[in-house]
Amino acid sequence: YEKQDARPSKQRLLVVANRLPVAAFRTGEDSWHLEISAGGLVSALLGVNEFETRWIGWAGVNVPDEAGQKSLAEALAEKRCIPVFLDEEVVHQYYNGYCNNILWPLFHYLGLPQEDRLATTRSFQSQFAAYKKANQMFADVVYANYKEGDVIWCHDYHLMFLPKCLKEYNSEMKVGWFLHTPFPSSEIHRTLPSRSELLRSVLAADLVGFHTYDYARHFVSACTRILGLEGTPEGVEDQGKLTRVAAFPIGIDSNRFIRALELPEVKEHIKELKERFAGRKVMLGVDRLDMIKGIPQKILAFEKFLEENPVWRDQVVLLQIAVPTRTDVPEYQKLTCQVHEIVGRINGRFGTLTTVPIHHLDRSLDFHALCALYAVTDVALVTSLRDGMNLVSYEFVACQAEKKGVLILSEFAGAAQSLGAGAILVNPWNVTEVAASIGYALTMPADEREKRHQHNFMHVTTHTSQEWAETFVSELNDTVVEAQLRTRQ
């Protein structure tokens, strides 16, 4: 986004997401250190040059003083980012509470919080009130920066209330909303106390997008069953107003990964890793340390595999990169302890004086180290219990042109719909099945690996993030034009 050409003839795209693509750290009264946080959405939009993009979001830091807010806004402006300032209480109730303790687990089929989880934050009502308040604060910043003709693209479950707030400001705004998580079956969504209000707010958008056709279908049926609205092949209709609903599967900037593998620094890293793990097959997991990623289940399946296949014990290693996330939420703290306990037990059980079967890291890796790791991997294990898409599976495939390793992929990740034919699909809850799949993957004949890899590589390199973003925005422009034509008729 920094390097983008800003010719005024380009259409302006306001990308609104909870988190800005840069994290801010205060280094003095009015000085800031900005670090790019390259999540899926950031890398997706990095390659998009068709629009003049501005980002609007939370900088992930509490800035109570006006002088600090002013200096941070100036520093961020250079990166084409516009901050939304949320105070600590709002962050606690909106982000930790309603977003991460209620919507996130619910949308991933983990249900609403039981009493012990609710008791850790305030009541559901006050969290929902904070959620609406935060969404209104985002809307205020969007509106203050809006120019006629801009396209506004709202992202994710944090901002389901935003389309409505924006349209209340100006019904002419072109508003799209995209969900990066699954949208669950209407039977799950209907348990949410604020189910109707959220659906109605999203329906204020012109275009609503999901990663898969199934998520789109669940959304439409929630609108039909909960709101009594008519679902059409185009979307959802309410008193003559159509909200277009469709699937737009995200991808990655595959060339960025392929190019990185050519860098001398990365090649050196690959060489070191190969030497370090010589004589052993490398299995890899890269996940945020989140309950939806099924990390305990994955490690237990690996344990079962070692238990049943003693010959493999000194011939395979599992590298698990577990990136800490949402560390203020108690559920995440509990998960960290649980994973550490299981890893410790398995390493104690199968380790020797010189080796351990699992290398578990509680941190992220820089981009080049990650590419090198993907390139030396024989088997990648993506065992999410639910996952909107899961781009780790795409990144792994992009880095495997030489090795043609095997992808074991959860059937509950959105990516199963696109990489299913090349991957070994598993039910992550079935530890026996995953253990057997590990054995199958490790011994798969080269020609089968090659065939599976080619299928996935073709998909990952042709369905890119750039194409995803451009398709969504052009569909949004078309949807608005069609709606105008319809009202004129």
Residues that bind ligand G6P (CB under 6 A): 18-19, 39, 156, 180-181, 325-326
Smallest gap from residue 428 Cβ to ligand G6P (A): 18
Task: Dig out the tokens for 396 from the structure.
Answer: 């792994």
Give the rounded distance of the alpha carbon of 375 from its chain centre: 22
Nearer to ligand G6P, 39 or 351 (CB): 39
Smallest gap from residue 12 Cβ to ligand G6P (A): 22
Smallest gap from residue 487 Cβ to ligand G6P (A): 34
Nearer to ligand G6P, 271 or 334 (CB): 334
Task: Give the burial string for 428-445 (b: 16+ CB within 10 Å, else e).
Answer: beebeebbbbbeebbebe
- 3-state class of 233 per DSSP? coil
Residue number of the CB closest to ligand G6P reads: 180
Task: For residues 408 and 452, give the distance between their C-alpha atoms in angstroms, rounded to a whole number.
Answer: 11
Smallest gap from residue 111 Cβ to ligand G6P (A): 19
Give the rounded distance of the alpha carbon of 268 from its chain centre: 30
Nearer to ligand G6P, 139 or 289 (CB): 289
Nearer to ligand G6P, 81 or 435 (CB): 81
CB 48 within 8 A of CB 470: yes
Smallest gap from residue 137 Cβ to ligand G6P (A): 17
Nearer to ligand G6P, 200 or 326 (CB): 326
Residue 2, C-beta contacts closer than 8 angstroms, at least 6 positions apart: 79, 80
Smallest gap from residue 116 Cβ to ligand G6P (A): 22
Task: For residues 320 and 357, give the distance between their C-alpha atoms in angstroms, rounded to a whole number.
Answer: 11
CB 405 within 8 A of CB 449: yes
Nearer to ligand G6P, 188 or 292 (CB): 292
CB 153 within 8 A of CB 53: no
- Which residue, among 331, 332, 464, 310, has the nearest Cα to 397 in the 3D structure? 464
Nearer to ligand G6P, 281 or 326 (CB): 326
Q: Is 326 left (phi over 0), alpha (psi -120 to 50) or beta?
A: left
Task: Dig out the tokens for 465 from the structure.
Answer: 């993030």
Task: Dig out the tokens for 5 from the structure.
Answer: 């050409």
Smallest gap from residue 470 Cβ to ligand G6P (A): 21
Nearer to ligand G6P, 104 or 128 (CB): 104
Gyration radius (Cα) of the chain, Å: 23
Crossing angle of helices 213-227 and 195-203, in 10° steps, is: 120
Smallest gap from residue 216 Cβ to ligand G6P (A): 17
Smallest gap from residue 231 Cβ to ligand G6P (A): 25
Nearer to ligand G6P, 96 or 320 (CB): 96
Nearer to ligand G6P, 19 or 459 (CB): 19
Smallest gap from residue 13 Cβ to ligand G6P (A): 18
Edge-to-edge order in the sheet of strand 207-210 = 81-84, 52-58, 12-19, 151-155, 174-178, 207-210, 241-247, 235-238, 230-231
Using CA atoms, how far residue 140 sits from 166, 168, 209, 222, in Å, is: 8, 11, 23, 29
Nearer to ligand G6P, 93 or 181 (CB): 181
Smallest gap from residue 50 Cβ to ligand G6P (A): 23
Task: Give the per-residue SS3 of 169-195.
Answer: HCCCCEEEEECCCCCCCHHHHCCCCCH
DSSP state of 310: G
Using CA atoms, how far residue 85 sits from 82, 95, 126, 134, 470, in Å, is: 10, 13, 19, 9, 29
Nearer to ligand G6P, 185 or 325 (CB): 325
CB 82 within 8 A of CB 56: yes
Smallest gap from residue 99 Cβ to ligand G6P (A): 7
Smallest gap from residue 40 Cβ to ligand G6P (A): 6
Task: For residues 353 and 69, give the distance between their C-alpha atoms in angstroms, rounded to a whole number.
Answer: 54
Nearer to ligand G6P, 18 or 479 (CB): 18
Q: Is 328 left (phi over 0), alpha (psi -120 to 50) or beta?
A: alpha
